[in-house]
Structure 1
Amino acid sequence: IVSCTPVFNKRGQLEKIIHISTDITGLKKIEVALRESQERYQIAVSSSKSGAWEINVQTGKVYMDHSFTKFYGYTEKELENLEQLFGLLDSQERNEANQFIEQFAKGEVEENSFIYHIHRKDGAIAWFQTNGILVRDETGQPLRIVGISRDITEQKRAEKEMAALQEQLQQSQRMEAIGRLAGGIAHDFNNLLTIIQGNCELSLNILPEKDPLKANIEEISLSAERAATLTRQLLAFSRRQLMEMKVMDLNMTLHNLDKMLRRVIGEDIELITILAKDLGKIKADQGQIEQVIMNLILNARDAMPRGGSLIMETSNFELDEHYVQAHINVAPGQYVLLSISDTGCGMTPDIKEKIFDPFFTTKGKGTGLGLSTVYGIVKQTGGSISVYSEPSKGTTFKIYLPRIDEPFQKEKKQKMKESMSGGGETVLIVEDDDMVRKLAVRILQQRGYKIIEAENPKQALSLCKKQSGKIDLILTDVVMPSMSGNELVKKIKKIRPEIKVLYMSGYPDNSFNHHAFLEKGINYIQKPFSTANLAQKIRKVLDK
């Protein structure tokens, strides 16, 4: 820098000029360094989604850098003072912000932070974490607060998604644990009910028509049948049912159920059916899917005591990776969607969280197993179910069942022989429950069969090796200690490859693929069974 100063004499004439040259190389270097530093700061702030701010605690004047106009969507003039800023906050966070400022203004804190959210000018919600420090004047009095606010919207969104997934995982684990308990209880009860029902039938067969005990035994038998219905529902929830899978047209199923559903819901509820014309096929148990539909329809009816609308809709649907990432135990792919919606009373979030729990009900009647049965059937079929509900607005259940590309199977009509008696065939009965085994022995001996009985798989194998004559059929339980029924049959088949097999099951264990159990032609009878059912099933297997 060069500065010139003229010097005049007494007459006012220019006498000389004083030139002063100052080397400002260092200053220029500082200016360049400062500018580069500011540029780096702006780049850093911009890339970190942060913005600097300053508040004068004495005047309330606000300074915010240009980043906030992008973050908030407002102009600088719209963000000039605290009143304008606080207007972007909800009431609770406005109080927190006031406390934040007051603590600095009173000199109570030197630094502080809090998290808040705003509604941007475009309506979107943005979350921020702000950190401030106090600057005092030369007398030590609070002068201003300077700080940085960082946009944490993506972090909040990720936290919310993670919390939702964690909640789904906990729900899934809880349902799995309850399902195992329910399945175990159902298995034990089915053994007991088999004994009760079987002995009731055997007793009724020999009692005279006018015997006073006959009515009592009939009541016991009816109660056992009602208990058996409950255990079937528990097995459905625990996903341990044996399912007869076949290719189905869901539209046809809804069409066939239409008249019955209209009678069930009554005249004050409008039933609207919207069926996709190009709906894909599913593979499921026909009876179980009908039970799912019926249970959901009854649930919707009870939610609309004063009438309303009930909509059943089908469509093809693709669950993509984005959906799968937000939901536990769901696979991407093509699905058939069944949606059932009502305009009823709806549910609060805490009730919605428990609706699939067995025995949970808000109706004051019934078993509380309707929706838990739905949940189990859908899951065992390989699908998923979700529910959307708001109090006073209604509820929508969405069921996603895997879409398949297989031909429909032709129904095979088999003629049953009227006679259910044996012809002297030999049956090996393998059952670890003594009372169930003895009952089966009595039923089949009365029908004319020769019986060999074993109380465990090891004894059954030994008898098969020692028996010199033919063993026509093995009737075995599925779940037994030390060896499953499936494993036992594989070993016996090596000794007697011609032997026929009938499984009896309180529920199938993991030695069977639940979905494929019936598809592969495996013969089974579900506990509890009647004397007639057992005799009929034995005869059918032997005559194949």
Structure 2
Amino acid sequence: METERRSQLLLNAVKDYAIYLLDTAGFVVSWNPGAERFKGYTADEIIGEHFSRFYTPEDRATGLPMRALEAAAAEGKFESEGWRLRKDGTRFWANVVIDPVHDEDGTLIGFAKVTRDISDKKEAERALFRSEQQFRLLVQGVRDYAIYMLDPDGNVSSWNAGAQAIKGYTAEEIIGTHFSRFYIPADRDRGEPAKALHTALIHGTFEKEALRLRKDGTTFWAHVVIDPIYDDAGALTGFTKITRDVTERRRAQEELDTAREALAHSQKMEAIGRLTGGVAHDFNNLLTVIRSSADLLQLPNQSEEKRQRYIAAIAETADRAAQLTGHLLAFARRQPLEPETFAVGDRVLGLERLIITTVGSPVRVEVEVADDAGCVTADPNQFESAVLNIAINARDAMPDGGVLRITARNVTHVPSVRRHAAVDGAFVAVDISDSGTGMDAETQGRIFEPFFTTKAVGRGTGLGLSQAYGFAKQSGGEIGVRSTPGHGSTFTIYLPRAAAAPTAEPLTPAVLRHALPTQRVLMVEDNEVVGRFARTLLEELGQTTTWATNGESALRLLEESNGGFDLVFTDVVMPGISGIDLAKEVERRWPHCRVVLTSGYSHVLAEEGNHGFPLLRKPYSLDKLMSVLGVAPAAKLAS
């Protein structure tokens, strides 16, 4: 009795399940509160009634209630889901379990029936099903994207209309085949399909643009995204693959790039035309001086004083021509620099007297150097030229006088200059400020172009600022300008700060002249005029000189003499064996021979030092050549 009482209390406490008993014919013999809550009947209303009243008319018509009892009796259990009726006639989705009940002798005495209202679960499933259907319709309706799935091995397991439109295959043709068939043969041979899946697994996604194949064998540019798919347990179930045909976009981009290249080429040709005109103008002026001086030297009865004046004019004009070439190369970042580590403050202070003399008395020069202004590794001569060129421009911007202020300081930030990104780091900044006329935005956008000048004809070449620009950029730095019309301008040169100590001053040619050794020199030069001149110079300096006109003949002379030369002085750009290749062969076979290269070709000069040999730039002076001859054989030249 106590056990039955406890069981009844337990059944009465259950509110989420309808738990009740049926007799063998299906009539209700017990009823718990959960059954009353689900179905709406009280125990008095339902006990003694047949349980089939809970079924829909359709299910009753098919005899489902009795078949359920028969199945439970025969199989030991019946379970199903379906619509059931409440007292008020509304329906709910029920999970039903019917178990047979036997007495001690094993005789069937009825059935235990447990029902649960799972309408919410059913509605969620239906909502999910509707969502999946809508998503499936959405995917199938997309025609601009190929959206399909792969199994873990890369075989196609679904196929939308966009995939058929882009690739040409129907679903029946492609499902079950490997997605590698869309790759061009070269990519398949390189294993690109497997790499794509591997990348998706490792990084969570794979994205790329590449050529893909259509069914008809034609190719198209595809933007491809592959993502792995995992189930709730974290196991890989396959991949989603989205492909878009971007052929038209790429074609449009290529056309745009072509148009940009054409525009850039047009602008380049315009700049070259302006550049060529400026170079021709300046060089013709210089050549006029040289030619006139040479003609005057040939006149009879010239006094020694005049001859020396004409010779000095030729030498000075040649230096100016070399300087003009250097300015052009500096703008193109092809200027061969001779870097040294020097203290910027010392150089700026050392320029003060020269700048004061250059700008003249109407301009007041103020120089301020921070005590901690650091060192840089750059070409000191080019640095001084850059500062002096900007100072001269500042003077011209102050025709009635003004203030020129030059400062040097350490900075840790280079601001954005000419739309370049700002840079953090250790730099030395040199500011050159004036109180002059200033510049508008259009002028500031062109001031670093070669031969661009706002000065009157004959007052400037337009190369000063381009030299400063080229020097700063080639030295790993930057140059910026701030200016407002009527309020002056400030140019700032930024150079990377160096940790090393300043470089020691090299020996001067005057010192070397007193101890110039006599050496056996093999000179290699393919230009006859330059060769004759260089051989004369070397012989005048007391050198035993042999002239070879190309690398092949130089090697023969070295072989015949078993490397019997102290110095091989060779041009770089020659037909056949180049000077660099010759130098490497000499270094390998006759290591006792010192090699010095010489060239005036900008490409070679821009790569100075990459070959590992000293390089003497053309045009070279007597002092420079003496420096080459006076350095000990084991030394390496920087010039």
Same fold (TM over 0.5): yes
Q: Is the 8 A contact 2:373 2:428 kept in 1?
A: yes
Match of 2:330 in 1: 236
CA distance in 2, matches of 1:334, 1:351: 30
Q: Is the 8 A contact 1:454 1:460 kept in 2?
A: yes
Offset at residue 324 of structure 1 (A) = 8.4
Correspondent of 1:363 among 455, 468, 485: 455
Q: What are the within-5 Å matches in structure 2 for residues 367-386 of structure 1?
A: 367-386=461-480
CA distance in 2, matches of 1:507, 1:370: 22
Change over 3 Å in CA distance of 1:478–1:241 after alignment to 2? farther
Correspondent of 1:506 among 578, 596, 600: 600
CA distance in 2, matches of 1:490, 1:232: 28
Q: What are the within-5 Å matches in structure 2 for residues 72-87 of structure 1?
A: none
Match of 1:461 in 2: 555
Larger Rg: 2
Q: What are the within-5 Å matches in structure 2 for residues 201-220 of structure 1?
A: 219-220=313-314
Match of 1:336 in 2: 428
Report the residue type matching 1:526 in the other structure.
R
Q: SS at the partner of 1:416?
A: helix
Cα offsets for 1:115-162 (capped at 9, x unmatched): xxxxxxxxxxxxxxxxxxxxxxxxxxxxxxxxxxxxxxxxxxxxxxxx
Offset at residue 498 of structure 1 (A) = 0.6
Offset at residue 296 of structure 1 (A) = 0.9
CA distance in 1, matches of 2:507, 2:311: 36
Q: SS at the partner of 2:482?
A: strand
Match of 2:524 in 1: 430
Report the residue type matching 1:226 in the other structure.
R
CA distance in 2, matches of 1:375, 1:382: 11
Change over 3 Å in CA distance of 1:325–1:478 after alignment to 2? same
Match of 1:537 in 2: 627
Q: Is the 8 A contact 1:471 1:499 kept in 2?
A: yes
The farther-off stretch of 398-407 and 330-339 is: 330-339
Q: SS at the partner of 1:474?
A: strand
Q: Is the 8 A contact 2:437 2:487 kept in 1?
A: yes
CA distance in 1, matches of 2:506, 2:537: 29
Q: What are the within-5 Å matches in structure 2 for residues 452-531 of structure 1?
A: 452-468=546-562, 470-481=564-575, 484-507=578-601, 509-510=603-604, 513-514=607-608, 523-530=614-621
Q: Is the 8 A contact 2:569 2:597 kept in 1?
A: yes
CA distance in 2, matches of 1:178, 1:396: 29
Change over 3 Å in CA distance of 1:263–1:208 after alignment to 2? closer
Q: What are the within-5 Å matches in structure 2 for residues 44-55 of structure 1?
A: none
CA distance in 2, matches of 1:296, 1:262: 13
Report the residue type matching 2:511 in the other structure.
M
Q: Is the 8 A contact 1:502 1:541 kept in 2?
A: no
Change over 3 Å in CA distance of 1:256–1:225 after alignment to 2? closer
Q: SS at the partner of 1:358?
A: coil
Correspondent of 1:307 among 385, 401, 404: 401
Change over 3 Å in CA distance of 1:299–1:325 after alignment to 2? closer
Aligned residues: 357
Change over 3 Å in CA distance of 1:315–1:212 after alignment to 2? closer
Q: SS at the partner of 1:357?
A: coil
Q: Does 1:349 align with 2:441?
A: yes
Cα offsets for 1:394-448 (capped at 9, x unmatched): 211121111122233344557834458763x321112232211121122223444
Report the residue type matching 1:416 in the other structure.
V
CA distance in 2, matches of 1:339, 1:218: 36
Match of 2:386 in 1: 292
Match of 1:416 in 2: 511
TM-score when scaled to structure 1? 0.56
Q: Is the 8 A contact 2:333 2:606 kept in 1?
A: no
Offset at residue 374 of structure 1 (A) = 0.9
Structure with more contact order per residue of length (Cα contacts < 8 Å, sep ≥ 6): 1
Q: What are the within-5 Å matches in structure 2 for residues 6-17 of structure 1?
A: none
Report the residue type matching 1:357 in the other structure.
E
Offset at residue 298 of structure 1 (A) = 0.9
Offset at residue 170 of structure 1 (A) = 7.3
CA distance in 1, matches of 2:411, 2:376: 13
Match of 1:327 in 2: 420
Structure 1 gap ranges (5+): 1-165
Report the residue type matching 2:444 in the other structure.
K
Offset at residue 222 of structure 1 (A) = 4.4
Q: SS at the partner of 1:252?
A: helix
Change over 3 Å in CA distance of 1:409–1:219 after alignment to 2? closer
Change over 3 Å in CA distance of 1:273–1:223 after alignment to 2? closer
Match of 2:359 in 1: 265
CA distance in 2, matches of 1:209, 1:307: 44
Q: SS at the partner of 1:403?
A: strand
Offset at residue 239 of structure 1 (A) = 2.8
Percent identity for Structure 1 against Structure 2: 36
Change over 3 Å in CA distance of 1:244–1:349 after alignment to 2? same
Cα offsets for 1:236-295 (capped at 9, x unmatched): 333333323222221222222223322333333333334333323211122221111111
CA distance in 2, matches of 1:303, 1:498: 57
Match of 2:349 in 1: 255
Structure 2 gap ranges (5+): 1-259
CA distance in 1, matches of 2:367, 2:545: 55
Match of 1:51 in 2: none
Change over 3 Å in CA distance of 1:493–1:331 after alignment to 2? farther
Report the residue type matching 1:368 in the other structure.
G
CA distance in 2, matches of 1:290, 1:324: 22
Q: Is the 8 A contact 1:242 1:517 kept in 2?
A: no
- Aligned-CA RMSD value: 4.3
Q: Is the 8 A contact 1:270 1:308 kept in 2?
A: yes
Q: Is the 8 A contact 1:345 1:393 kept in 2?
A: yes
